[in-house]
Amino acid sequence: MEVDDKPSAKGSGSAATDKFKSERVSADTSKERASAVYQDLLSAVGEVVKKHEVTYDEYDVVKQWVIDVGEGGEWPLWLDVFIEHYVEEVNYNRHGFSGTKGSIEGPYYVPEAPKLPSVTKMPMREKDLSAKQLVFSGQVTDLEGKGLSGAHVEMWSNDAEGYYSQFAPGIPEWNLRGTIVADDNGGFSITTLLPVPYRIPHDGPTGAFIESYGGHPWRPAHLHLLVSHPQHNGIITQLYFNEGEYLGNDVASAVKPELVLDPKEGDDGLQYVTYNFSLDPKPE
């Protein structure tokens, strides 16, 4: 039997949904808070319906699309692309953080990536070596600039074709994924692939949603990072590239000026860039 090894929205969406469902979550939201949020949400939807005089045909299209998103396993994808940036911004501001700016996690994070030393090369295939490589260095510090010994820098990114391991077939499990353990001064140096812009899975209902308003499914090239230390609040963020496409019209609305890198090419043909992370202390 012929095996389809091409990534699809359904396959990627199902993988993201299965991952999320395996990590059952809960929140200590009171009934009073839940009631207030639900009422405001429904009122906001109601105001949109009134403002645009939504027809029954349009209403039925929305119902069908909601069903399609669920059956296609694409709710983690859709929510992380179109809603998460609001949640991320609110929570960064709510906690009064002043360290490194955060960004969305997205649907492709996988916990417990293998630990790697402070100076390391990300796991990659032989075929990946022909793509442009990036040497990404920096330091994890507290707000006063003191290096945080043993800080963890989890990194994940796409390959030269724009695909993430564990969410597309034919890619080794931990390809371009790792947890880098910083040195005694919080320093690290990571050789990885220079990521490329990619289209979010768009052959399913999320793609139909984007097409319905004349949008595009592209995200700019970026590195995903989760930086943590036991005595400090961790930060989830993404780093972008100053000459990259789609910086100004990212489908996920996640780009921030503070998170844009400016790599320079070395004599060896590799791209080099430095970026330091500053973490807020955990409250006592």
Residue 72's pLDDT is 87
Region 174-186: mean pLDDT is 98
Q: How many CA atoms lie within 13 A of 114 on its CB side?
A: 12
- Two tokens, residue 219: 């995200």
Instruction: Work out the pLDDT band at 18, boundaries 50, 70, 90.
Output: confident
User: Could you report the per-residue pLDDT of 222-231, keeping only the tens digit for each?
Assistant: 999 999 999 9
117-167, pLDDT tens digit by residue?
999 999 999 888 889 999 999 999 999 999 999 999 999 999 999 999 998
The CA dihedral of 218, 174, 167, 255, to the nearest 10 degrees, is: -30
How confident is the prediction for the chain on average, in pLDDT? 91
pLDDT digit string, tens, across residues 86-115: 999 998 888 788 899 999 999 899 999 999
The predicted pLDDT at position 26 comes to 83
Confidence of residue 4 (pLDDT cuts 50, 70, 90): very low
Separation CA 185–CA 66 (nearest Å): 49
Residue closest to 146 by CA, chosen among 9, 20, 278, 4: 278
pLDDT at 96: 81
Tokens linked to 226: 């989760």
pLDDT of residue 250: 97
Quick one: pLDDT at residue 5? 56
For the record, the structure tokens of 204 come out as 């399913």
Looking at this protein, which amino acid is placed at residue 254?
A: A
Over residues 160-183, the mean pLDDT reads 94
- 206 has a pLDDT exceeding 70: yes
Q: Tokens 């390959």 belong to which residue?
A: 159
* 3-class SS string, the chain: CCCCCCCCHHHHHHHHHHHHHHCCCCCCCCHHHHHHHHHHHHHHHHHHHHHHCCCHHHHHHHHHHHHHHHHCCCHHHHHHHHCHHHHHHHHHHHCCCCCCCCCCCCCCCCCCCCEECCEEECCCCHHHHHCCEEEEEEEEECCCCCECCCCEEEEECCCCCCCCCCCCCCCCCCCCEEEEECCCCCEEEEEEECCCCEECCCCCHHHHHHHHCCCCCEECCCEEEEEEECCEEEEEEEEEECCCCCCCCCCCCCCCHHHEECCEECCCCCEEEECCEECCECCC
- pLDDT for position 217: 95
Degrees to nearest 5, angle at CA 66 with 65 and 70: 115
The length of the chain in residues reads 284
Which domains does the chain show, CATH number per domain?
1-284 (2.60.130.10)
Residue 16 clears pLDDT 70, i.e. is over it:
no
Question: What CA–CA distances, in Å, run from 114 to 20, 140, 179, 181?
Answer: 20, 19, 6, 10
Rounded-to-integer distance, Cα 146 and Cα 149, Å: 9
